[in-house]
A and B are shown apart, each in its own frame.
Chain A
Amino acid sequence: MNACVVVFPGSNCDEDCWHALRDVMKSKVTYVWHKESVLPKVDLVVVPGGFSYGDYLRTGAIARFSPIMKAVVKHAESGLPVIGICNGFQILLETGLLPGAMLRNRSLRFVCKHVYLRTENVKTIFTNRLKPRKLLNIPIAHGEGNYYCDSETLKRLQTGNQIVFRYVSEKGAINEGSNPNGSVDSIAGIINDKGNVLGMMPHPERASEDILGSYDGRLIWESIQTHLN
């Protein structure tokens, strides 16, 4: 697997993603500064978490106009995988690569904790190594992860199996208490209709090694690797 991590002013999970890909997955990985207009020749583009442009205006709203984003869109249009994590997800939403938008967490609080995700679609580039409905223990850390879309879009996401991860309880049940931010339909991660762009609020790069308390996130990297090989 040959990957790059896009770095914006205010990105702060770029090094974690780089570490997970290089040291854990033994992949080739490079950083790409957002002012670049061309991507290196890579299979996977990672748009990492953080607070690009200080979250000013709206999360991801300014980063989406960075020169590199045109190349990221082109990469996505060519069918190659793109994963946006946390702020990366927010940037992909603002870019229009994924449908919907993010609102402030229902609690108005920044929520930083481990949550359980249920894998709703295992026939994707990002989840092919997972068993159906597999539970993943992966942390979230965000103030604006309250996913919103209109009911028409939601229906499209549901019928198209584009909802990849939902927030659930430790036992895998969907309920109000296990939805940490108020996301519609407990959505934690979605893919585009072509299936090659994933956006997720939880941080797989922070759960890719035993020493971090969970290595469930590693299954996502392994799935991408399996797809690419």
Chain B
Amino acid sequence: MYKAKINVTLKKSVFDPQGKTVLDALHSLGFQEASKLRVGKFFDLNLKAKSEKEAEKEVRAMCDKLLVNPVIEEYEFQIEEDGKS
């Protein structure tokens, strides 16, 4: 069993209204040091696969087919072996 952690964010070229609003809020709370904030989505899932390579292939397919809209979004993910199950 493997565990995948997938991060999806809007592409750099796409304006992120949520990110801007949250960053503005941080600034107004005094966190002037914050910059370049992007709001994204996080997926955490378990999957069965014979190898880490196969798990990676599967996760990529899931992202390309459903989890990510390539017109506006990009993604990155990590895969780790989940020994407990």
Contacts and interface: CB of A to CB of B under 8 A. Distances in A.
A binds B: yes
Interface of A: 57-58, 61-62, 65, 93-94, 99-101, 103-108, 146, 148-150, 182
B17 A101 contact: no
Listed residue (A93, A101, A105, A182) with the most chain B CB atoms within 10 angstroms of its CB:
A101
A107 B14 CA distance: 15
A182 to B, nearest CB: 7
5 contacts: A57-B67, A61-B66, A62-B66, A150-B71, A182-B15
A105 B16 CA distance: 10
Contact of A108 (B17, B66, B67): B17
Interface in B20-38: 21
A148 B66 contact: no
Contacts of A146: 17
A150 B13 contact: yes
Given A57-B66, A57-B67, A103 B72 contact: yes
For the residues of A in contact with B, the DSSP-based class is: loop
Listed residue (B10, B14, B71) with the most chain A CB atoms within 10 angstroms of its CB:
B71
Contacts of B18: 104, 108
Contacts of A182: 15, 17
Contact of B17 (A94, A100, A105, A149): A105
Interface of B: 10, 13-15, 17-18, 21, 66-67, 69, 71-72
A94 B69 contact: yes
A31 B67 CA distance: 29
A61 B68 CA distance: 9
Given A57-B67, A103-B14, A103-B15, A148 B21 contact: no
Contacts of A57: 66-67
| Shortest Cβ-Cβ A-B pairs, 10 listed | A101-B71, A101-B72, A104-B17, A106-B17, A101-B69, A108-B17, A58-B69, A108-B21, A148-B72, A104-B18
Contacts of B10: 103
Given A57-B66, A61-B66, A148 B17 contact: no
Contacts of B15: 103, 106, 182
Given A107-B17, A108-B21, 5 more contacts: A61-B69, A99-B71, A100-B71, A150-B13, A150-B71
A105 B15 CA distance: 11
B67 A148 contact: no
Contacts of B72: 101, 103, 148
